[in-house]
Structure 1
Amino acid sequence: MSGIGPVEPGEGTHPRDVLEPGAPLLPDPPRGRLAQLYARHHRAALTATATAALLAAGGYLFATRPQKPPPPPAPYPSQVVDVTYRGPATPPGTAPRGSFSFALELSVQSGPPVTTTRITQPYASVSLTWHPHPPLRTRAGSPRKITITMHVTECAKVPENAGLPFLDVTLRNTRAIQVHSFILGDRYAHDLSQALHVACSTNSTSGPK
C-alpha cells in the first residue's frame, strides 16, 4: 500500500520549524544590533514598571500612615484661674469716706494666657473699680496683683454682715469666655463687713457722709 504520512523534518530543520497548514508564521527573533536595542527597550520597560510600582506602594504607605492625634483643647479659664484675697490695700482711715480697698492676687495654673475683662460684686449699694484697668492679661506662672476699691452709695441697703461675699469675674482665653464666682473666704468676709460698718458708721440712711 502507498500513502502519505506525516511530513518528516528535513535535513537542517527542527520540528518547531514545521507548521501546520494555515498556522501563522512566527517572527524570527531579533539578531545583531536590533537584538541589543530590543533588549535595552525591554529592560527600560521593566525598570519603569518596577519604579511605578514602588512609587505607588510608597504613596499608599504615606497615605495610610498613622496620624498624630490632635493636641488637646485648652482648658476652660475657670478651671485654671485662682483668685486669692491678700487683705486691705490701704491702712484703715486713709481711704476717702465711704471707700475702702482690698488686694487680690490672680494666677493662672496652666494653659494659654487668661484675660480678665470684668469684676463685679453682688451689692447694689456698693460700686466697684479695680486697678490695673481692664482688660488684664495674665500668663501661667506670672501672678498679677489687683487692687479692688469699693464705695458705698447707700448705707440703708448695705448688709450688716457680709456672710459669704463673692466676686463675679469675667475670664477669657482661647477656649471660652466665662463668668465665674469666686468666694474669697472668711477673712475677706470679716474685712468686708468691718469696712462696710466703718463706711456707714454715721448711721446715715441715704449714704456715707
Structure 2
Amino acid sequence: MSGTGPLEPGEGTRARDDHPSQGVRAAGRTGGTAAAWYARHRRAASAVAAAAVLLTGGGYLYATRPRQPHPPPHPERRHAQAPYPAQVTDVTYLDARTPPADSPPRSFSFAVLLSVASGPPVTVTRMDQPYAGLALSTEPAAPFRTRAGSARTITVTLHVTDCGKAPRDAELPFLDVTLRNTRAIQTQSFIPGTRYARDLSHALEVACSNRSR
C-alpha cells in the first residue's frame, strides 16, 4: 500500500471508529465479554427456574390458583367404609325382671343393654338362644333399630317348653343376635356374663321343679 494521507477505514469499521469509548472496552475485551456472558446466562437461568417453580405448583401462582373440591364418595364406597355391625354392637346383662303378665307358665325375664358405638344405625332383626327346650321373645319385638352413640334396654323373656331339653346348669349361656347395617348382615353370639348364667340357671331350676306341683 502507498500514499501520504491517513488510512481509510476498512469496510465495517466505521461504527467502532465513530465511538472512541469502544476502544477502551476493547482493551479489556476478555473480562468485559465474560462478565456480560455470565450476566446474560444468569438472567436466563433465573427465568427458567421461576417458570419451573410455577409449573410444579409452587410460588405465587399456586397460592392464588383455586383448588378443585374432592368429589363425594360413591354410595357403594361409603357403605364399604362403614364398620361391620358386630364390631360396634355390644350386649351386656342388667338384671332379672318380672315377666309380662300375659306370659305362659314357666316363664322368666331378664334385661340386657344393647349399645352401638359408631357407624350407621344397627337393626336387630332377630334374637334367639341355643337351647331346644326354651322359647324366647323380646320387648321391643324385633326388628328394632339403634343409632350410633346410643343404647336401649331390651327385656328378654324365656319360656320353658320342655324341661327335658332345657339345661339344668347353664354355665356359658349366650344370645344369638342378628344385626344389620348398611355394611352387612351378621349373626353374633353374645355371652352376657356370669351373673346372667347364674340367674338363668336359678330360673330354670325353679321353672322345672314346679312342673310336678
State the TM-score bracket (shorter-chain normalisation): 0.5 to 0.7
Aligned residues: 141
Give, as a single letter, the amino acid of the residue that structure 2 aligns with 1:98: R
- Out of 94, 97, 105, the position equivalent to 1:97 is 105
Give, as a single letter, the amino acid of the residue that structure 2 aligns with 1:145: T
Give, as a single letter, the amino acid of the residue that structure 2 aligns with 1:161: D
Distance 1:158 1:114 in 2: 31
Give unpaired runs (5+ residues) of structure 2: 1-64
| 2:108 is the counterpart of 1:127 | no
Identity %: 63
Distance 1:85 1:187 in 2: 8
The corresponding residue for 2:183 is 175
Q: CA deviation at 1:67?
A: 5.5
SS of the aligned residue for 1:157 comes to coil
1:27-46 to 2 correspondences below 5 Å: none
TM-score when normalising by structure 1: 0.61
The corresponding residue for 2:195 is 187
Give, as a single letter, the amino acid of the residue that structure 2 aligns with 1:191: D
Give unpaired runs (5+ residues) of structure 1: 1-61
TM-score when normalising by structure 2: 0.60
Q: Whose helix proportion is higher, 1 or 2? A: 2
RMSD of the TM alignment (CA)? 2.6
Q: CA deviation at 1:160?
A: 1.2
- Out of 142, 149, 154, the position equivalent to 1:146 is 154
8 Å contact from structure 2 (residues 125, 179) kept in 1: yes
SS of the aligned residue for 1:188 comes to helix
Give, as a single letter, the amino acid of the residue that structure 2 aligns with 1:156: G
Distance 2:211 2:159 in 1: 16
Q: CA deviation at 1:152?
A: 0.2
Distance 1:98 1:152 in 2: 6
SS of the aligned residue for 1:78 comes to helix
8 Å contact from structure 2 (residues 127, 142) kept in 1: no
| 2:150 is the counterpart of 1:118 | no
Distance 1:203 1:136 in 2: 34
Give, as a single letter, the amino acid of the residue that structure 1 aligns with 2:88: V
SS of the aligned residue for 1:189 comes to helix
Q: CA deviation at 1:202?
A: 3.2
Distance 1:144 1:182 in 2: 16
Question: Once the two structures are superposed, what CA deviation does each residue of 1:145-188 show, in whole Å capped at 9, x if it has no partner?
Answer: 10000000111121110010000000000000000000111000
Q: 1:203 to 1:133 in 2, by over 3 A?
A: closer
After TM superposition, which residue ranges in structure 1, 4 or more long, deviate above 3 angstroms? 65-72
1:73-88 to 2 correspondences below 5 Å: 73-88=81-96
| 2:169 is the counterpart of 1:161 | yes
